Chain A
Amino acid sequence: MVLAALAIVALAGGLRHTPAAAAATTTAAVSDTVDSGLWTAAVTEATAVRTIDAYVPQPGAWLLSVVIRIQVRGPDGGTAADLDRIASLPGQPGLTAPAPRWVVLRRDASELAELNPNLPEEVEYLFEVDGGTPVPARVIVQVSGYRTTRGHQWSDFGPLARVVVPVRNAR
């Protein structure tokens, strides 16, 4: 009878639809892969610079560049709008805005557009920091992304992991 009951439940698909418990924000190491379903992200380095290519901050300010290696896992790249907002620096003093001022590809400093499947990219998130703030020895990078799927859509966008990254001073 027990076997029959299990078979009925399995055939009805009941076990497949059990909602996954929401995962808490975890701590990841530099270069660890953070899974966001539609893409994976790995924070690889952070550097303080005055400018990068044509991206010049306000007078006196400097840029904190956080590099994240991103790989699109889905069958298409329809995630560009979300990729703009996956990096934040909680607790970092002196930011002129909580979001990066520019998001660019490391390979040629062109601005981030849609990324394609199976074409991993190193993306630089350029945060602007006011000139009175010293370069920190390390920065906490919070990686956000999706946790669960609902129907055909990924949902529950929010913090997935925090990574403590040493900051190289190249100002």
Chain B
Amino acid sequence: MTRLKLIGGIAAVLVTLLVGQALLRTAPSADDDSATFLVGGRSFRPVVVGGLAVTVLGIRGASLVRRPDGQILDTGGVWVIVDVELTATQQTTAVRYLALADRDGNTYRVSQRWHQAITEGVPDLQPGLPVDGEVAFEVPRDAATQLSLRAGEHWSVAVGLRSRAVTDIALPVERSEVDRWVADRDPAVLVPPAVVL
């Protein structure tokens, strides 16, 4: 009888611990509380995050990119070039986070291999003066057909994207398009930004 009580006691402790663990796992973690807030959307339609409206107007790709200084940049993946329109909706602002994300959770920040005319922090955006231009990203070829544009007003080294809103605009790209981009060895030149009047 004593042995039965002992086993019963151990079983009760274990069951209590397991139930406690199960409850803890269903509660939001600190990471959940500060997760990035994704605002979904589609190309050719403005997606608003905070005081910034982002519209994807086109997508193309290349195996090589020619920088403004003439240097040609190669890649082990493929260059994905996105035509975006950026608009400040309320006050002067800028896009301070700009990346492509794939379905596996990897992100590919706007290329820093040269100072692009549209990049994180540049240009300043004034309300009522949309800016349209191209921006380039370097991504693995296998990821190029499953990308979305992440753009937001806020990002910092210390905080990252915690609790911030960013776009999640799906970029429709077919495998055949990627193959064509990779085969084309003519360097792409990006269209510089211009105010849309």
Contact = CB atoms under 8 A, between A and B. Distances in A.
B107 A110 contact: no
Nearest to B140: A118
B27 to A, nearest CB: 15
B106 A117 contact: yes
Given A7-B17, A118-B143, A76 B76 contact: no
Contacts of B73: 108, 110
Q: Interface size bucket, A side? A: 20 to 34
Interface string A66-95: 000000000111101000000000000000
Given A4-B10, A108-B72, A76 B17 contact: no
B17 A75 contact: no
B17 A8 contact: yes
Contacts of B76: 107, 119-121
Nearest to B139: A116
Contacts, number: 66
A12 B89 CA distance: 49
A51 B189 CA distance: 29
Interface stretch (B49-57, B108-116, B128-136, B177-185): B108-116
B92 interface: no
Contacts of B10: 1, 4
A40 to B, nearest CB: 15
Given A113-B112, A114-B112, A119-B75, 20 more contacts: A4-B10, A8-B13, A8-B17, A75-B105, A76-B99, A76-B107, A77-B109, A78-B109, A108-B71, A108-B72, A110-B114, A116-B77, A116-B106, A116-B108, A116-B138, A117-B107, A117-B108, A118-B77, A118-B143, A120-B76
7 contacts: A75-B105, A75-B107, A76-B99, A76-B106, A76-B109, A77-B108, A118-B140
